[in-house]
């Protein structure tokens, strides 16, 4: 029988849990809405309760559990430092109570780092050695697999690619800097671009689509697809900026491939075309041919990423013993 682990993905809207085997097959799953009113104790209890609901009975016990969560995570200490979208998730020791409740080793990981290892083990990055993964959603996250292992850096912050500065005079970012990649191209950034276009009266189609409410990134895409050239120029510029960021990282890391996941992929070639052009023109020498691959894990990226981290941690423990 193949080994299994419990995996959890703690996002801003949903808490998901699953039993996953070594081949990345999901054997059981469940999900609940993320608690909106929560304390550290109630969040922990909710996670344990959900994990218990998917855990198989005696005789088929999972070997470990890993929880992937948004925000800053000290994975080695098993602690969430800050998860801005999840109430109660601040300086929270998480793995100790989960391990005590379930009776198996428990780990946590930043969700974008977990997604990187998930793509490497089970998805678009299978068989590669070095991988740069970017999550393109409300914000921009990233993860690094170097020499077939997840790279966490000195303080567990490696892969925060959303906060590389592209334009020092650009818009203010959540982190306090100006012109970060995330402040220029992300769900939030495209909503801001749409609002600016509307305020300047430059996008007649967008005004009709938003119909009096605040426009968002999806409205910008709809306007662009309906032929609004100003809206299309914003998305294409976002793609170009993304390519500058990823191309710079490719020059530092020389990965086998860049893998991409997240809701912004729905913008299709309007975003990805200029991104690939900028990346390949910026990347140095043979790195200009670095492959860009789309995620194969879809909505399960967080869950399968958490499972991949659990398996890697178990293998590490095996090597050490």
Q: Applying CB under 5 A, which part among 88-96, 105-113, 178-186, 303-311 lies near Zn ion?
A: 178-186
Select 177 or 237, whichever has its Cβ closest to Zn ion: 177
Select 101 or 165, whichever has its Cβ closest to Zn ion: 165
Place of tokens 């550290």: 40
* Residue 258 and residue 246 in contact, taking contact as beta carbons nearer than 8 Å: yes
Give me the least distance between CB of 197 and Zn ion, in Å please.
23
Q: Is 180 in the site for Zn ion (CB under 5 A)?
A: yes
Alpha helices (H) in the chain, listed in sequence order: 40-54, 95-102, 111-122, 181-184, 187-199, 204-210, 217-225, 229-253, 269-282, 301-320
DSSP-assigned states of every residue in 74-140: ETTTTEEEE-TTSTT-EEEE-HHHHHHHHSS-EEEEEHHHHHHHHHHHHSTTTT-S-EEEEEESSSE
Spatial CA neighbour of 294 closest among 262, 267, 321, 261: 261
Select 28 or 175, whichever has its Cβ closest to Zn ion: 175
- Judged by CB under 5 A, the number of residues near Zn ion is 5
Select 244 or 307, whichever has its Cβ closest to Zn ion: 244
Select 177 or 288, whichever has its Cβ closest to Zn ion: 177
Give me the least distance between CB of 153 and Zn ion, in Å please.
17
Q: Applying CB under 5 A, which part among 28-36, 156-164, 250-258, 269-277 lies near Zn ion?
A: 156-164
Q: Is 177 in the site for Zn ion (CB under 5 A)?
A: yes
Q: Is 173 in the site for Zn ion (CB under 5 A)?
A: yes
Q: Is 163 in the site for Zn ion (CB under 5 A)?
A: yes
What's the sign of the alpha-carbon dihedral 29, 34, 40, 41? negative
Give me the least distance between CB of 176 and Zn ion, in Å please.
7
Which of 101, 104, 175, 265 is in the footprint of Zn ion by CB under 5 A? 175
Q: Determine the straight-line distance between the first and last CA of the chain, rounded to whole angstroms.
A: 22
Token pair listed for 314 = 């178990």
The footprint of Zn ion (CB under 5 A) covers: 163, 173, 175, 177, 180
């Amino acid at each position: 029988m193949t080994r299994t682990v419990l995996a959890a993905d703690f996002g801003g809207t949903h808490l998901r849990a699953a039993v996953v085997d070594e081949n990345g097959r999901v054997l059981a799953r469940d999900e609940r809405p993320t608690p909106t009113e929560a304390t550290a104790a109630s969040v922990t209890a909710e996670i344990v309760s959900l994990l218990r609901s998917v855990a198989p009975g005696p005789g088929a016990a999972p070997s470990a559990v890993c929880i992937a969560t948004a925000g800053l995570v000290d994975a080695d200490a098993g602690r969430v430092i800050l998860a801005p979208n999840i109430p109660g998730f601040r300086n929270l020791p998480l793995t100790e109570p989960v391990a005590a409740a379930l009776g198996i080793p428990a780990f946590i990981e930043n969700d974008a780092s977990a997604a990187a290892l998930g793509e490497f083990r089970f998805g678009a990055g299978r068989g590669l050695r070095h991988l740069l993964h970017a999550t393109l959603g409300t914000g921009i996250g990233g993860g690094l697999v170097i020499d077939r292992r997840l790279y966490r850096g000195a303080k567990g912050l490696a892969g925060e690619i959303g906060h590389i500065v592209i334009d020092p005079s650009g818009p203010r970012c959540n982190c306090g800097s100006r012109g970060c990649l995330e402040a220029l191209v992300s769900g939030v950034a495209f909503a801001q671009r749409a609002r600016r276009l509307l305020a300047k009266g430059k996008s007649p189609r967008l005004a009709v689509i938003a119909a009096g409410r605040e426009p968002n990134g999806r409205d910008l895409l709809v306007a662009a697809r309906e032929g609004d050239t100003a809206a299309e120029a914003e998305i294409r510029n976002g793609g170009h900026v993304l390519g500058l960021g990823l191309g710079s990282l490719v020059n530092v890391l020389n990965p086998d491939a860049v893998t991409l996941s997240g809701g912004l992929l729905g913008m299709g070639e309007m975003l990805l075309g200029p991104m690939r052009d900028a990346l390949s023109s910026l990347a140095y020498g043979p790195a200009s041919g670095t492959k860009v691959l789309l995620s194969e894990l879809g909505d399960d990226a967080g869950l399968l990423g958490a499972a991949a981290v659990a398996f890697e941690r178990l293998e590490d423990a095996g090597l050490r013993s």
